């Protein structure tokens, strides 16, 4: 799960251009390497999504994810993902599509079977929960490197789940405060893989609101794959855990599965 892209105004771009001269080069370099990790051209996975209430009550979901990495025609690598919810019954046949754009809002659509309707998710809905999870719609997207001041905080050992990682610690502060729902984020990047394995997200009052953990990383066919993630809202005690159960890489997927028409029909 990732952070949001926002369209910058000409004034904001000018200000960023000035500020970047003073930006933390080491922090920016580390986060650029994390962003540039090689991705499979196609991916097809079955994941288990577990929503856990503060009292321990769980809802287990089965979700199919179809992904692709493509060139947007302007030399930028972007990612698209289609999610098909198979269970439980109350969300069965819900389908979601996100198509990444460079330097502007991603395109998102959702199909709700109860309404038999596919609709575009507006950018104004970015702070809303995605399907009752701890991630917002904005959390699903990727922030551009130039949107944040990446402040290098040093090196630190971080225990995530049952694994321990030697990490770079980076504080990420948005240049344009309106471009993010968070005042800042602190990210621990694994030195061996450049995967961000732990992130703390702070609300507009600079209070910790959420954490994102990546406890399991595997090298599969030369790709560094995050096999499990856990996002926790520390203010409510609710969490969302996603675990890959089946994974297939670089087997071509048809163009149609990345269209809003596919969401309506499922075929």
pTM of the complete model: 0.88
13 CB-near residues (< 8 Å, 6+ apart): none
Pick from 6, 1, 172: nearest CA to 102? 6
Exposure b/e, 189-213, CB count within 10 A at least 16 = b: bbeebbbbbbbbbbeeeeeebbbbb
Q: Which residues pair with 136 in a beta bridge?
A: 129
Angle, alpha carbons 120-59-107 (nearest 5°): 15
Dihedral, CA of residue 174, residue 216, residue 77 and residue 187, to nearest 10: 10
Say which residue the tokens 């251009």 belong to. 17
pLDDT in tens, 209-231: 999 999 999 999 999 999 999 99
Tell me the pLDDT tens digit for each residue of 36-82. 999 999 999 999 999 999 999 999 999 999 999 999 888 889 999 99
Q: Which residue has the higher pLDDT, 3 or 194?
A: 194
> Among 148, 123, 126, 144, which Cα is nearest to 135's?
126
């Amino acid at each position: 799960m990732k952070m949001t892209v926002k369209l910058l105004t000409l004034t904001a771009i000018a200000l960023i251009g000035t500020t970047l001269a003073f930006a933390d080069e080491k922090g920016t370099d580390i986060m650029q390497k994390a962003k540039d990790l090689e991705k499979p051209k196609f991916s097809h996975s079955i994941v288990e999504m577990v929503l856990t209430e503060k009292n321990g009550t769980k809802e287990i979901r089965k979700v199919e994810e179809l992904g692709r990495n493509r060139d947007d025609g302007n030399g930028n690598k972007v990612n698209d993902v289609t999610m098909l919810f198979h269970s439980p019954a109350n969300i069965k046949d819900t389908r979601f599509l996100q198509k990444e754009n460079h330097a502007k809002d991603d395109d998102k659509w959702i199909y709700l079977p109860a309404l038999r309707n596919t609709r575009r998710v507006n950018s104004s809905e970015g702070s809303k929960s995605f399907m009752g999870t701890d991630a917002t719609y904005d959390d699903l997207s990727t922030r551009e490197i130039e949107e944040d001041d990446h402040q290098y905080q040093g090196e630190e050992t971080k225990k995530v789940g049952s694994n321990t990682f030697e990490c770079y610690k980076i504080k990420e502060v948005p240049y344009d405060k309106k471009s993010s729902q968070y005042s800042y984020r602190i990210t621990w990047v694994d030195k061996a893989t450049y995967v961000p394995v732990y992130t703390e997200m702070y609300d507009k009052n600079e209070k910790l609101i959420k954490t994102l953990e990546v406890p399991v990383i595997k090298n599969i066919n030369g790709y560094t794959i995050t096999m499990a993630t856990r996002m926790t809202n520390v203010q409510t005690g609710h969490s969302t855990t996603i675990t890959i159960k089946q994974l297939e890489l670089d087997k071509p997927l048809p163009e149609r599965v990345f269209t809003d028409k596919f969401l309506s029909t499922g075929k």
